[in-house]
């Protein structure tokens, strides 16, 4: 979400006995307006921000009694209505990750409105919102001060046998299918008055898109399994008698967290609607105490912890054993590819040049099944439709989107735009940019000559004279020299994901910093998670004709490395599966450590958060 897209919209002010409430709209990631509320008490304000996120089916006004609770009077409190909920006049989203993108946009908006930073924010999220908040923290790595997850819905209790696979198949046939919640107020709280409020609330939304539910369940499973990559201080409040979600999974999530400051509280006899229970003050006091503690304690840099976890995973893939069935499956895939792979053009390219090569990615970007006859095209179609390649194509779209935003912003300032890609392969996406923006100059570098030659051929084919290619090693410091071409946009796309060593990629970043000026814009990609790491390592080969083994980097680790060299992240996009990220940052050398520092310090120095 670009800060230039923020808009507070119309605001109305309502005064209550305790907190003054304002309402308005903010513009989210897709330029759509969402309704929000703000509660504030000038006399008691402590300068900190509380984001209250409502549970599924509900809306922000349901949180007013919580915002007015004396435990939170020191905070400026914000909440917003999800799409299809409350006062937000938009249809409900069919994709769960859109809820995460809305939260990211809202956090940016709030920081601008209050002139605060993310470190001034504490998030309180109930039920489905707990999955939204934890996904945001995992995928986007915001530097918030902490979060309280109240009965997070990582796994929803679907009492009908085989309900999840049945819903998944139903969504394929009926993509816009809506379902009605089975949850009644009597399963949310013991409090009769709260039950009546819930039942009589016209803004309660009983329906949910089936696809939002299935993607919620998939994302919840991903985040629980990969919770070790979360370092934010986290409080988990678990309801002892929860008939809506599986509370045992909340314990799995908590146990895997890497947060140094974390706390798990089991609320005996509580139903799912914890914040509306008869003894809700117990939960509220726990939240208030944990939030105060989080703002008091400093958060150490935990880059090394996450590197260790990711390296252990990488070592397991490299040297560990596999279940018998997995071994047999991968052996069958390798054998099939060895003897039949030539039928598919994509597999043939991968076998010749490596499945991580630029020419392989160029075939993936084109997304046109090719091969020997109908059988070859059929195999190639299945190959191109694997989730990893789908994510790669979405990464390309996100890269182009952020590039266009940066180009237009610089041109609006009257600047001549020069783009450098330090290891771009054929860079088909930059061919598209060069074709659309003929007044933009582009230089593409790459280590492999076949990528350079293919890129030159693409440019010649389209008559493009504003894009050039050269063979160059991005990790050789001698290849970075200032010349007449002074880039004000730099792209690092899909290359660091191939190399596990931070010392090596730090050479490239250090070299880059030596040839750019302050305020240069950077677009960089990441791979914080991937569902096919074992399959890729055991079936596909890389450009060095060896096993393609990847050590993934959490977004926290990746952002931390670039921040080390003075790049301040201002935007990020991610695909619906949580595989590939594309981030935008601005070079602010005053915030960097001295560039003559030993580059191995990126693996040793823990003072840079």
Q: What is the pLDDT of residues 38-87, one digit of tens each?
A: 999 988 889 999 999 999 999 999 999 999 999 999 999 999 999 999 99
Q: Give the up-direction half-sphere exposure of residue 539: CA atoms within 13 A in the CB hemisphere.
A: 20
Average pLDDT, the chain: 92
Span(s) in the chain for CATH 3.40.50.150: 388-603
pLDDT higher than 50, residue 604: no
Place of tokens 């602010």: 588
Instruction: Kindly tell me if the per-residue pLDDT of 426 is higher than 80.
Output: yes
In this prediction, residues 436-463 reach a mean pLDDT of 94
Q: Give the CA diameter of the chain.
A: 76
Answer for the pair 411, 417: CB distance below 8 angstroms, yes or no.
Answer: yes
Q: Which of 220, 197, 101, 203 is nearest to 149 (CA)?
A: 220
Burial level of 280, CB count in 10 A (0-12/13-18/19+)? buried
Query: How far is the C-alpha of 489 from the C-alpha of 418, rounded, in Å?
Result: 6
With cut-offs at 50, 70 and 90, classify the pLDDT of residue 300. confident
Instruction: Examine the pLDDT at 607 and tell me if it is beyond 70.
Output: no
- Please give, one letter per residue, the 3-state secondary structure of 453-502: HHHHHHHHHCCCCCEEEEECCCCCHHHCCCCCCCCCEEEECCCHHHCCCH
What's the CATH architecture for 388-603?
A: 3-Layer(aba) Sandwich (3.40)
Helix (H, G, I), strand (E, B) or coil at 515: coil
What is the strand order of the sheet 262-267 is part of? Answer: 12-15, 20-27, 33-40, 76-80, 49-53, 121-126, 146-150, 234-239, 262-267
595 pLDDT above the threshold of 60: no
Residue 396's pLDDT is 95
pLDDT tens per residue across span 478-492: 999 888 899 999 999
What is the predicted pLDDT for the residue at 139? Answer: 98
**CB neighbour class for 372 (10 Å; exposed up to 12, middle 13-18, buried from 19):** middle
How high is the pLDDT of residue 609?
Answer: 34
pLDDT digits (tens, 9 = 90+) for 373-398: 999 999 999 999 999 999 999 999 99
Q: Is the dihedral of CA 29, 32, 37, 41 positive or negative?
A: positive
Query: What token pair was written down for 330?
Result: 């991968």
> Per-residue pLDDT averaged across 495-523, rounded?
94
| CATH fold label, 3-297 | Rossmann fold (3.40.50)
pLDDT at residue number 553: 95
Distance, in Å, from the CA atom of 356 to the CA atom of 499, rounded to the nearest integer, reads: 11
Q: What is the pLDDT of residue 603?
A: 52
Q: Rounded to an integer, what distance in angstroms lies between the CA atom of residue 167 and that of residue 187?
A: 23
189, pLDDT greater than 60: yes
- Which band of pLDDT confidence, cut at 50, 70 and 90, is reported for residue 3? very low
Given a cut of 60, whether residue 144 has pLDDT beyond it is: yes
pLDDT band at 598 (very low <50, low <70, confident <90, very high): very low
> To which H or E segment does residue 208 belong?
strand 207-209
3-state secondary structure at position 315: helix
- Note the pLDDT of residue 182: 83
Q: Write out the residue limits of the CATH 3.40.50.1820 domain(s) in the chain.
A: 3-297
pLDDT band at 358 (very low <50, low <70, confident <90, very high): confident
The CA distances from residue 299 to 195, 259, 303, 441, in Å, are 40, 9, 12, 42
Two tokens at 336? 């099939």
Q: What pLDDT is attached to residue 546? A: 87
Tell me the H-state helices in 153-302: 163-173, 192-200, 210-225, 247-256, 280-296
Work out the angle at residue 414's Cα, subtended by the Cα atoms of residues 412 and 416, and round it to the nearest 5 degrees.
110
Query: pLDDT: is 590 or 75 the higher one?
Result: 75
CA torsion through residues 412, 417, 423, 425, sign: positive
Mean pLDDT of 254-264: 96
Q: Could you report the per-residue pLDDT of 94-110, keeping only the tens digit for each?
A: 999 999 999 999 999 99
Residue-wise pLDDT tens digits, 558-580: 999 999 999 999 999 999 999 99
CA distances from 506 to 363, 466, 582, 595, 602 (A): 29, 29, 19, 11, 8
């Amino acid at each position: 979400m670009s800060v230039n897209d923020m808009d507070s919209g119309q605001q109305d002010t309502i005064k209550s006995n305790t907190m003054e409430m304002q309402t308005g709209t903010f513009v989210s990631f897709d330029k759509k307006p969402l309704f929000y509320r703000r509660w504030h008490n000038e006399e008691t304000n402590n300068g900190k921000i509380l984001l209250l996120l409502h549970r599924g089916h509900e809306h922000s006004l349901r949180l007013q009694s919580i915002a007015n609770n004396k435990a939170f009077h020191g905070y400026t409190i914000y909440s917003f209505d999800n799409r299809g909920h409350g006062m937000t006049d938009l249809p409900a989203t069919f994709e769960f990750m859109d809820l995460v993108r809305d939260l990211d946009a809202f956090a940016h908006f709030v920081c601008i409105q209050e002139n605060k930073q993310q470190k001034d924010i504490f998030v309180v999220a109930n039920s489905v919102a707990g999955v939204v908040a934890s996904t945001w923290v995992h995928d986007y790595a915001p530097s918030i001060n902490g979060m309280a997850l109240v009965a997070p819905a990582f796994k929803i209790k679907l009492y009908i046998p085989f309900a999840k696979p049945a819903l998944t198949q139903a969504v394929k046939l009926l993509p816009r299918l809506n379902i009605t919640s089975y949850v009644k107020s009597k399963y949310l709280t013991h409090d009769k008055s709260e039950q009546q409020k819930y039942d009589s609330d016209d803004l309660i939304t009983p329906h949910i898109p089936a696809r939002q539910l299935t993607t919620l369940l998939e994302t919840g499973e991903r985040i629980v399994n990969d919770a070790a990559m979360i370092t934010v201080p986290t409080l988990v409040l678990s309801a002892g008698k929860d008939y809506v979600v599986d509370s045992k999974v909340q314990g799995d999530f908590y146990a895997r967290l890497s947060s140094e400051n974390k706390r798990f509280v089991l609320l005996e006899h509580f139903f799912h609607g914890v914040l509306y229970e008869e003894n809700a003050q117990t939960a509220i006091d726990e939240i208030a105490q944990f939030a105060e503690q989080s703002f008091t304690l400093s958060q150490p840099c935990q880059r090394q912890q996450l590197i260790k976890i990711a390296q252990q995973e990488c070592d397991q893939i490299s040297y560990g054993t596999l279940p018998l069935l997995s071994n047999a499956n991968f052996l069958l895939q390798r054998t099939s590819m060895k003897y039949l792979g030539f039928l598919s053009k994509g597999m043939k390219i991968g076998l010749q040049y490596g499945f991580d090569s630029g020419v392989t990615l160029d075939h993936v970007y084109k997304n046109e099944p090719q091969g020997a006859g109908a059988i070859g095209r059929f195999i190639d179609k299945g190959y191109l439709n694997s989730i990893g390649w789908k994510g790669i194509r979405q990464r390309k779209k996100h890269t182009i989107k952020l590039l266009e935003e940066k180009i237009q912003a610089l041109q609006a300032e009257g600047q001549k735009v020069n783009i450098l890609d330090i290891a771009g392969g054929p860079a088909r996406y930059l061919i598209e940019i060069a074709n659309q923006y003929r007044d933009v100059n582009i230089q593409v570098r790459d280590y492999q000559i076949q990528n350079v030659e293919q890129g030159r051929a693409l440019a010649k084919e389209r008559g493009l004279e504003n894009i050039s290619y050269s063979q160059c090693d991005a990790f050789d410091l001698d290849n970075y020299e200032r010349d007449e071409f002074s880039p004000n946009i730099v792209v690092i796309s899909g290359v660091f994901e191939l190399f596990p060593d931070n010392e090596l990629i730090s050479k490239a970043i250090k070299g880059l910093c030596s040839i750019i000026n302050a305020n240069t814009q950077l677009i960089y990609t990441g791979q914080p998670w991937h569902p096919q790491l074992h399959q890729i390592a055991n079936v596909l080969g890389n450009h060095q004709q060896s096993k393609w083994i990847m050590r993934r980097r959490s977004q926290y680790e990746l952002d931390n490395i670039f921040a080390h060299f003075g790049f301040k992240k201002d935007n990020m996009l991610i695909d619906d599966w949580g595989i590939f990220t594309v981030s935008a940052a601005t070079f602010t050398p005053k915030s960097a450590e001295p560039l003559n520092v030993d580059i191995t310090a990126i693996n040793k120095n823990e003072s840079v958060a």
